[in-house]
Amino acid sequence: MAFARLLRSRVVPLAAAALVVVGATAVADRYPSLRYLSGEVRIGINGNLPGWSYVPEGASEHQGFDPEYRGFDVELANFLQAKYGFDLELVTLQPNDRITALLDYKVDLVISNFSIEGPSGFGPDVRRQDVLDFAGPYFQDVSGYMYSRVKPAWRDDDEFYARSCVSEGTTAEEWHLPMGGVKETQRRCFERFVDRNDVDVVAVATDFSILAAYVDDLKNKGDDLEPPEVWKEGEEKFVREEKYGIAMRENSPGLCGELNRAIQEFLDGNGWDEAFRQELRMLNRDGKKPDAVDSEVCGR
């Protein structure tokens, strides 16, 4: 009996020690990722997309200060800053600059309507996940052709595709350009699309939620450039699903896992819902919020 008590007295401390070792190992495994998410962290955003990342009217008039960006993507960046306590620097990027900005160490992360699946720009067989790692998704959308009822050419397919605008570095570029069309920056595509007098651009190949937020912003501003009527959600020529993730440099499984946990916290708490309510309330939220991150995305 005494031996049994002695044995138990030795086993319990050993088990406790084992738990300490396991806990310490878990912390050690996270340490490089937590160190990466400290100090100054530069996050790439678009910076010119209403609802997603933009400078509100009047905010840029204060010279000598960095502009105060708003938007759904910015809310996610702010959530990460609050969680990890790093100094956040937002860097504006065009869609075709997102990958090179990461590879050239100009930014540390990209949160910019960046679809996990898509072309890399390094050749037809090189995908984004071949050169970057992604955490997420944190948002789900659909892409396709958003077209205007007030412009005449959309009824003829050949004319429609020839007069559809696509921006470089987007997933739409991959499935649209083989059919021809107009190539512009993302912002310029939208400007030409909503210009009733520009009959050379009758449609935009893009993500639905991006364009819907842009058109809603014009309506709210009462812009002289009155936006044409775009077809309501569910009636577009949707081509594919889009899942947005946080991009980072390749071979970052620890950081990717850490950010996946943070995104799941953003989804499960009030972060996602509040960001959507504040910035994307013009959208129908059905199907936009992922139930969970895809743990298999990291390092795929």
3-state secondary structure of 209: helix
Max distance between CA atoms of the chain, in angstroms, equals 95
Which pLDDT value is given to residue 60? 54
- Where along the chain do its domains lie? 32-60+68-139+247-279, 144-240
Q: Beta strands 132-147 and 164-167: pairing type?
A: unpaired
Burial class (CB in 10 A: 0-12, 13-18, 19+), 19: exposed
Cα 60–62–67 angle (5° rounding)?
40
CATH code reported for the domain at 32-60+68-139+247-279: 3.40.190.10
User: Do 144-240 and 32-60+68-139+247-279 fall under one CATH topology?
Assistant: yes
Instruction: Find the helix or strand (DSSP H, E) in which 203 lies.
Output: strand 203-207
**Residue where the block lists tokens 């937002």:** 90
Mean pLDDT of 217-226: 66
Which pLDDT value is given to residue 273? 98
Pick 83 or 65 by higher pLDDT.
83
List CB contacts of 147: < 8 A, sequence separation 6 or more: 154, 160, 164, 202, 203, 204, 230, 231, 236, 237
CB 95, CB 46: distance < 8 Å: yes
Q: What's the mean pLDDT when you consider all of the chain?
A: 80
Which pLDDT value is given to residue 160? 78
Mean pLDDT of 117-144: 86
CB 109, CB 244: distance < 8 Å: no
> Which class would CATH give 144-240?
alpha beta
Q: Does the model's pTM come out above 0.85?
A: no
Which pLDDT value is given to residue 299? 62
Which pLDDT value is given to residue 37? 96
Which pLDDT value is given to residue 114? 93
Which pLDDT value is given to residue 268? 98
Mean pLDDT of 271-285: 95
Please report which confidence band the pLDDT of residue 142 belongs to, taking 50, 70 and 90 as the band edges: confident
Please report which confidence band the pLDDT of residue 153 belongs to, taking 50, 70 and 90 as the band edges: low
Mean pLDDT of 130-154: 84
Which pLDDT value is given to residue 300? 60
Q: Which two tokens stand for residue 79?
A: 């959530």
* Distance (Å) of CA 282 to CA 215, 220, 277: 10, 11, 9
Instruction: Find the helix or strand (DSSP H, E) in which 10 lies.
Output: helix 2-36
Say yes or no to pLDDT of 137 above 90: yes
Say yes or no to pLDDT of 17 above 50: no
